Amino acid sequence: MSEKERTTLFIDFEFTMPDRSSRRRGFYPEIIEAGAVLVENSKVVEEFSSYVRPMRFPILTERCRSFLNISQEQVNSGITFKALVDKLKSMAGSKNCQIVTWGNMDMKVLQQNCQQASVAFPLPGKQIDLSMEYKRFFGDQNQTGLWKAVQEYGREGTGKHHRALDDALTTYHIYKLVEKDKQYLQKPEPATIGDMVDFSKLLNKFA
């Protein structure tokens, strides 16, 4: 499948967080907001955004509400986790659809949530952690945060940080920029006459 024909789903989730003081027994992060952007032939063909009701720990902690700026009412009005899985499956149910996230937490949490809910993992395609691609490509020692990466590219992010759909769209923008830069590096511009001058001989003249 050529690059042009590839279908890619960009995903971002927000999850529940425990309060620092009270460690809830058996706590694990659950998806409470999902954003997804489906891209075919380099065009956005579908966007999806929804709050999701957590199953195991339905009441959000104060830390979670304030950090993500998500209210209990918003989450209560969300879709079920099963409905989220069905939606992801309908958007990217084939092995030819690659999945791109920023960091590896989104897929880890989705897999864990699927296990807890006894439902099949809905995304069979190749998974790409764009933050690791970015790190390898730019030789960064540390993994870069999503919005810091956008700013390093001289762009502002799309919408609000920690809004799932905005983060998914921002991930897509960075993906396009990285792919463009990769192509540029693979196909260097033809050398100009200036480049062809033997600079070692020129420097010897001044040595």
For residue 173, indicate whether it is catalytic: no
Give the chain's mean pLDDT: 82
pLDDT digits (tens, 9 = 90+) for 122-180: 999 999 999 888 777 766 555 556 656 656 655 554 545 558 998 899 899 889 888 88
**Residue 207, domain member (yes or no):** no
> How far is it, in rounded angstroms, from Cα 30 to Cα 109?
7
Of the residues 47, 152, 162, 179, only one is catalytic, namely 162
Residue 83: is its pLDDT beyond 60? Answer: yes
Domain count across the chain: 1
For residue 14, indicate whether it is catalytic: yes
**Residue 193, domain member (yes or no):** no
**Residue 134, domain member (yes or no):** yes
Q: Give the range among 50-54, 102-106, 136-140, 149-153 with minimum mean pLDDT.
A: 149-153
**Residue 204, domain member (yes or no):** no
**Residue 201, domain member (yes or no):** no
Whether the model clears a pTM of 0.75, i.e. scores above it, the answer is: yes
- The range of the structural domain enclosing residue 71 comes to 7-188
Q: Give the range among 77-81, 123-127, 138-142, 201-205 with minimum mean pLDDT.
A: 201-205
Closest CA to 171 of 110, 127, 123, 114: 127
**Residue 1, domain member (yes or no):** no
Please name the residues in contact with 92: beta carbons below 8 A apart, sequence gap of 6 or more. Answer: 7, 9, 38, 99, 122, 123, 125
N-terminal to C-terminal alpha carbon distance within the chain = 54
pLDDT score recorded for residue 207: 47
Residue 19: is its pLDDT beyond 50? Answer: yes
Average pLDDT over residues 63-87: 96
Of the residues 14, 30, 33, 173, only one is catalytic, namely 14
pLDDT digits (tens, 9 = 90+) for 88-98: 999 997 778 99
**Residue 91, domain member (yes or no):** yes
pLDDT score recorded for residue 98: 95
**Residue 56, domain member (yes or no):** yes
Cα separations in angstroms, 109 against 15, 103, 106, 116, 148: 8, 11, 5, 10, 23
User: What CATH number is attached to the domain comprising 146?
Assistant: 3.30.420.10
